[in-house]
């Protein structure tokens, strides 16, 4: 068994911390291969361990092994691919700002636009993609509802930000009457 190369060292550490596996002592000073070796040794010895509720929806060590053998679902893009996705997002934003009129963009038909939407929707971890999907869903003439694919880690980050946004509410009290202010 081996860990797929698309999993970064930082992501491996996040997985182990989220699953709360205390048998593996990981350090940021370890190299990626050291981290992988420690995880593989753990999986070789403990294939029957069960995990509680976690972001990755993994229930056992066996599922963890399968998750790590497959490519990383976060779909890290190459620089070239990310540039293409960002260009498409800009065109879709332009389409939305121009009152959803196709003639004001580089697209010659709605079909081309929908094809690009299908392509970028799989990269929902990027904020620009989420914004483009939201703008397309705001279109009253839309032919379908768009959803983007977001990794479990990003869903948790977004949920935490939403909770924090609403938990930091400030309260003000207004009083009427006459007040005297003095300055020294």
Q: What is the DSSP string of the chain?
A: ----TTS-HHHHHHHHHHHT-TT----TTS-HHHHHHHHHHHHHH-TT-B--S-TT---BHHHHHHHHHSPPTT-PPPHHHHHHHHHHHHHHHHHHHTTT-GGGSS-SSHHHHHHHHHHHGGGTTSHHHHHHHHHHHT-TT-SS-------HHHHHHHHHHHHHHHH---------S-------
pLDDT at 103: 84
Query: Do 85 and 140 sit in the same domain of this protein?
Result: yes
The span from the CA of 149 to the CA of 122, in Å, is 5
Location of structure tokens 């497959």: 70
pLDDT at 50: 83
Identify whether 184 is part of a domain. no
Identify whether 118 is part of a domain. yes
Which of 25, 45, 69 corresponds to the end of one domain?
A: 69
Query: Do 107 and 130 sit in the same domain of this protein?
Result: yes
pLDDT at 128: 94
Identify whether 28 is part of a domain. yes
Which residue from 59, 49, 54 is spatially nearest to 24, judged by alpha carbons?
A: 49
Query: Do 64 and 93 sit in the same domain of this protein?
Result: no
Query: Do 29 and 84 sit in the same domain of this protein?
Result: no
The span from the CA of 184 to the CA of 94, in Å, is 56
pLDDT at 75: 63
User: For each of the chain's 184 residues, which pLDDT tens digit applies?
Assistant: 788 888 888 888 888 888 888 788 877 788 988 988 888 888 888 777 788 888 877 888 888 888 888 877 776 678 899 999 999 999 999 988 988 888 878 888 888 988 999 999 888 889 999 999 999 999 887 778 889 888 878 888 898 888 887 776 667 788 898 988 899 8
Identify whether 116 is part of a domain. yes
pLDDT at 157: 87
Q: Are 51 and 57 in contact (CB under 8 A)?
A: no
Query: Do 65 and 131 sit in the same domain of this protein?
Result: no
Identify whether 50 is part of a domain. yes
Query: Do 49 and 99 sit in the same domain of this protein?
Result: no
Query: Do 61 and 91 sit in the same domain of this protein?
Result: no
Query: Do 110 and 50 sit in the same domain of this protein?
Result: no
The number of distinct structural domains making up the chain is 2
pLDDT at 169: 64
pLDDT at 63: 86
Query: Do 113 and 51 sit in the same domain of this protein?
Result: no
Query: Do 91 and 34 sit in the same domain of this protein?
Result: no
Instruction: Measure Cα distances from 47 to 15, 42, 70, 157, 159 in Å.
Output: 16, 8, 17, 29, 31
Identify whether 178 is part of a domain. no
C-alpha of 15 from chain center: 15
Question: pTM of this prediction?
Answer: 0.64
Instruction: Measure Cα distances from 151 to 15, 27, 123 in Å.
Output: 13, 24, 9
Query: Do 55 and 89 sit in the same domain of this protein?
Result: no
Identify whether 161 is part of a domain. no
pLDDT at 28: 78
* Domain limits for position 110: 79-153
Identify whether 179 is part of a domain. no
Q: Are 108 and 148 in contact (CB under 8 A)?
A: no
Half-sphere exposure for 158 (CA within 13 Å, toward CB): 11
Query: Do 60 and 92 sit in the same domain of this protein?
Result: no
């Amino acid at each position: 068994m081996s860990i797929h190369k698309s999993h970064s060292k930082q992501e491996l550490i996040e997985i182990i911390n989220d699953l709360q596996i205390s048998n593996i002592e990981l350090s940021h000073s370890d190299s990626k291969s050291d981290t992988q070796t420690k995880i593989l040794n753990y999986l070789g010895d403990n294939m029957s361990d069960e995990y509680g509720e976690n972001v990755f929806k993994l229930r056992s060590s066996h599922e963890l092994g399968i998750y790590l053998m497959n490519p990383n679902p976060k779909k890290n893009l190459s620089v070239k691919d990310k540039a293409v996705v960002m260009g498409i997002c800009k065109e879709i934003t332009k389409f939305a700002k121009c009152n959803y009129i196709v003639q004001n963009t580089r697209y010659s038909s709605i079909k081309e636009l929908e094809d690009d939407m299908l392509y970028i929707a799989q990269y929902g971890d990027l904020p620009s993609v989420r914004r483009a999907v939201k703008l397309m869903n705001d279109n009253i003439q839309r032919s379908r509802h768009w959803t983007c694919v977001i990794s479990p880690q990003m869903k948790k980050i977004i949920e935490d930000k939403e909770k924090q946004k609403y938990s930091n509410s400030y309260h003000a009290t207004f009083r009427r009457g006459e007040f005297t202010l003095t300055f020294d």
